[in-house]
Structure 1
């Protein structure tokens, strides 16, 4: 049977029955644990080429399917909205994080940055189908009472509603927030004094599961804060990597590329580029190298700690007899985060951190009260062997790990290089749980249809692709854009790292996006550009203003929302003057 025919047959079965041929019965429907890391790079776990120790995730990969060509949005909220609904981000109300939407777009209903009422979450569908539904972690899809996950299908929740927050205490990590907004079952809550985010979220998940000892299956969604900034980890995890990164980001990027090839994650003859935002490690002083190596050691420790706590959850499910009937889905919301620069100890940076009650000295980096990032150079290494990172539409921003494991999937490690997209996760969960997808209405209201496709038959090796050569998947976020079709991708990345020009790549043979084929394949380029325009028109994609800068827009929107327009002008004036003074004094002090 031809691949396209097999896809059609599998799709028809799903439409007619709500699940595939091997559908579970009502009595043995599987539990689903959906785990989402935050800002985890493509090669940040060992089974994808990392030096970081991730035995729990590696164990899942060893008995499941690891997808090597899976893509998300390049920023958190749009990914989360598509992950939970199967609907494109421009149709579900979250085309960008709300903090970054320019004022020219904010009057449009599909540009609010909050999960729309015209979509239904997979949690709501599973809850209606008789599942217990739990969430513990970052939401970032709205924080008004009716926008929280407790009102979007989750029966028990502990929720951090913002872009991020401190991992050691209930504290905002950037000044656009007055406080860290945490909610328990839809009500504001206070964190415990011994809080560490990864440990706490797994503790709450275990508590939720144990609170319902009946035989009903459960769906547990665990969106970790790891490894979003501030990058923080318990000292014992950081210490494991304190000497690991002394050779720098160039060496690390090359090491991970070699390991990814050895594991079969990428083609053995593929190449990679050196990002223009990567600094020269050899030009750094010994003290600078030592500090940067510690930054990355904390990052590795944070990944390791997350994996450790995932292992605690797995051990608990085994202990209570629920592991064998549980399917695990693990991924990241986008690629690695380059925020923080490669000079985080500059005077302006330190002033900004002090105003927030943070420090970034070497000795305590990563511990309570410290603020850590890895910057663009190590972010490129975390995304190795791919180009770009978070926010950009390059593979390093969009291609992330995806592991699906459980008895219903496989009993041995398998790699799958078929293209898959974040909107595929909801239909995959629906098929695994024998839950029909709504066609046009849910709860008495008209809803947007699911556009993703189930990966179940692909995971079981029953088909080779879920998307045919004629299918195309469009994408846009903050002016960065892409369209995928078969083995090919057209992509545009704005400045300051990109050139704002469209490029064409074969991302199967060239996942590092090193060979621009637009001149060699002009007909293919033109056809895919036309398809992108169709996608943009159909989904209501708006052009960003010419001077749009996401980081600056976050600051403007956030400070305006917190302080109001008049105080915003005063605050921006003070900040500009303070930075100017710090730079002037710094230069003067260093003058001979």
Structure 2
């Protein structure tokens, strides 16, 4: 008996260590599936091993091999607008986040989620689920608009756009920041010496679902802030990448492109984006190279730690017999960060100590972001693919084929209808006396199930005066105060060949589509006057 027990314990610990879950594990067949929705922050298109990265991401690689990846999945190019669409299934202006979580005093620009735009927390709770959230909210700073007030049974995380990974001291200058931690509706004070936020978010998420009402399935929204600035990582994770980036961004960008091609996510004839405004790696001196390599080592360590924590969650679900009855989605809120935050003295409140430590306020900026997004063009806050495209992985109960990469062509507004389709939940016609905005997205479950599916409706985008329209494989880009550009993504995903001059009729059609969409969603033309309303200043593309 002792030998048998020891054998069982050995298999259990090996399972936890290597993330291997027995395919014959118990499946919860007597209730609806659980749902885990994981969003990373400022992660580039090729930052995962299963999307072409050299960063060690075995947990997410496993999720990709057991699930499905989409080649093309789109966000709203920056944090708060993306989160509003993910949470509500609405375009951001319709939900009230047409810019950021700042109130312009205009419909569509209130800076919080309006009541007509129901959250996933509200819809799943209405459908009989326990609902939980950990991480970054960023869609309403005033208490009536916090997660607990918008459908979540419990919450651990922060309300604003950025948070230290080691402490709760203010990060930015200006008005008092709401970027400190909350447990439910109460401020949480850190009293652990070994506190690291990515770890804590995962631990709290596991605590939530462990202590849920047993008869209910759960919906869990995990909005990690990793790998968003500041560059903070554990020394042991940083050490794994020592010397990994000594070759510099020019070589690493090429290596990523080769890896992306091998995976079938890029074509040989694509012209990978190269930012001509950036210095060549070989033009830097030894000290500069050392400073820059450390930044990327810390960034990689943050992604690595994020993957470790997702592995911890997968192991929990597996060892408790819940994994095969759980929908798991992973994506990022936008492309890689392009702003050199640590060099912005009018914004940064503190920036002392080595990169990677609690006192640092550094970001890796577009010098390395061009690697994270390789081979796509541009960065976070841009309407080009590097700003709007994200890795996307889904694993769900009843999945017929695993490990496939599908073309996709979907948007954040499609996630709610897809999840409701999988969970067999009806979107409410009325909620707390309010008639909700109808969902505008389309379920892509047929695509996942092998059907010949394409999105019926175009995808539209506006932020800070920039616009974009996706119409099948064709994409129109209209930067503020410039003319429409046109790209055929089937042959030119890196947007290097503008074909607008050859297809004026397509441009006219896209302009009409955009104007109708803007009218229906409360989008108003951007102006210099609106720019003055915000403290945020957009960086160049």
TM-score normalised over the length of structure 1: 0.82
Give the alignment partner of residue 156 of structure 1, picking from 154, 157, 165.
154
Structure 1 residue aligned with 2:34: 31
Give the alignment partner of residue 358 of structure 1, picking from 340, 348, 351.
351
SS at match of 1:453: coil
Give the alignment partner of residue 397 of structure 2, picking from 378, 383, 407.
407
Deviation of the 1:411 alpha carbon:
4.7
Deviation of the 1:177 alpha carbon:
5.0
Structure 2 residue aligned with 1:144: 142
Deviation of the 1:218 alpha carbon:
0.6
Give the alignment partner of residue 55 of structure 1, picking from 58, 65, 72.
58
Whole-Å separation in 2 of the counterparts to 1:296 and 1:246: 10
Whole-Å separation in 1 of the counterparts to 2:30 and 2:368: 48
Q: Is the 8 A contact 1:63 1:406 kept in 2?
A: no
Give the alignment partner of residue 93 of structure 1, picking from 93, 96, 107.
96
Structure 1: segments with no counterpart, 5+ residues:
1-23, 558-592
Structure 1 residue aligned with 2:444: 455
Whole-Å separation in 2 of the counterparts to 1:394 and 1:483: 11
Give the alignment partner of residue 388 of structure 1, picking from 378, 381, 384.
378
Whole-Å separation in 2 of the counterparts to 1:546 and 1:237: 44
Whole-Å separation in 2 of the counterparts to 1:188 and 1:485: 45
- State whether structure 2 residue 400 is matched by structure 1 residue 418: no
Structure 2 residue aligned with 1:544: 526
Give the alignment partner of residue 508 of structure 1, picking from 490, 496, 501.
490
Q: Is the 8 A contact 2:148 2:154 kept in 1?
A: yes
Flag the 1:549–1:244 CA change in 2: closer, same or farther, 3 A: farther
Structure 1 residue aligned with 2:240: 240
Deviation of the 1:436 alpha carbon:
0.6
Structure 2 residue aligned with 1:73: 76
Flag the 1:185–1:519 CA change in 2: closer, same or farther, 3 A: same
Q: Is the 8 A contact 2:108 2:523 kept in 1?
A: no
Structure 2 residue aligned with 1:564: none
Structure 2 residue aligned with 1:117: 115
Q: Is the 8 A contact 1:482 1:492 kept in 2?
A: yes
Flag the 1:95–1:277 CA change in 2: closer, same or farther, 3 A: farther
Structure 1 residue aligned with 2:202: 202
Structure 2 residue aligned with 1:181: 180
Whole-Å separation in 2 of the counterparts to 1:314 and 1:129: 24
Deviation of the 1:187 alpha carbon:
2.3
* Most deviating of 161-170 and 405-414: 405-414
Whole-Å separation in 2 of the counterparts to 1:407 and 1:272: 37
* Most deviating of 293-302 and 499-508: 499-508
Give the alignment partner of residue 500 of structure 2, picking from 489, 513, 518.
518
SS at match of 1:28: coil
Whole-Å separation in 2 of the counterparts to 1:547 and 1:122: 34
Whole-Å separation in 2 of the counterparts to 1:277 and 1:327: 42
Flag the 1:380–1:500 CA change in 2: closer, same or farther, 3 A: farther
Structure 2: segments with no counterpart, 5+ residues:
1-26
Deviation of the 1:302 alpha carbon:
0.2
Structure 2 residue aligned with 1:256: 256
Give the alignment partner of residue 554 of structure 1, picking from 513, 535, 540.
535
Whole-Å separation in 2 of the counterparts to 1:277 and 1:149: 41
Deviation of the 1:358 alpha carbon:
2.7
Q: CA RMSD in A?
A: 2.2
Q: Is the 8 A contact 2:351 2:362 kept in 1?
A: no
Q: Is the 8 A contact 2:37 2:330 kept in 1?
A: yes
Deviation of the 1:352 alpha carbon:
6.7
Whole-Å separation in 1 of the counterparts to 2:438 and 2:217: 26
Q: Deviations over 1:394-447 (max 9, x none)?
A: 1000000110013333452011112100101111111111101234x3221122
* Matched pairs, number: 510
- State whether structure 2 residue 425 is matched by structure 1 residue 435: yes
Q: Deviations over 1:158-205 (max 9, x none)?
A: 130001111111122212353433222222222343321110000000
Whole-Å separation in 2 of the counterparts to 1:296 and 1:436: 45
Whole-Å separation in 2 of the counterparts to 1:83 and 1:410: 26
Q: Deviations over 1:448-489 (max 9, x none)?
A: 111011121111112332x13xx3221101111101101111
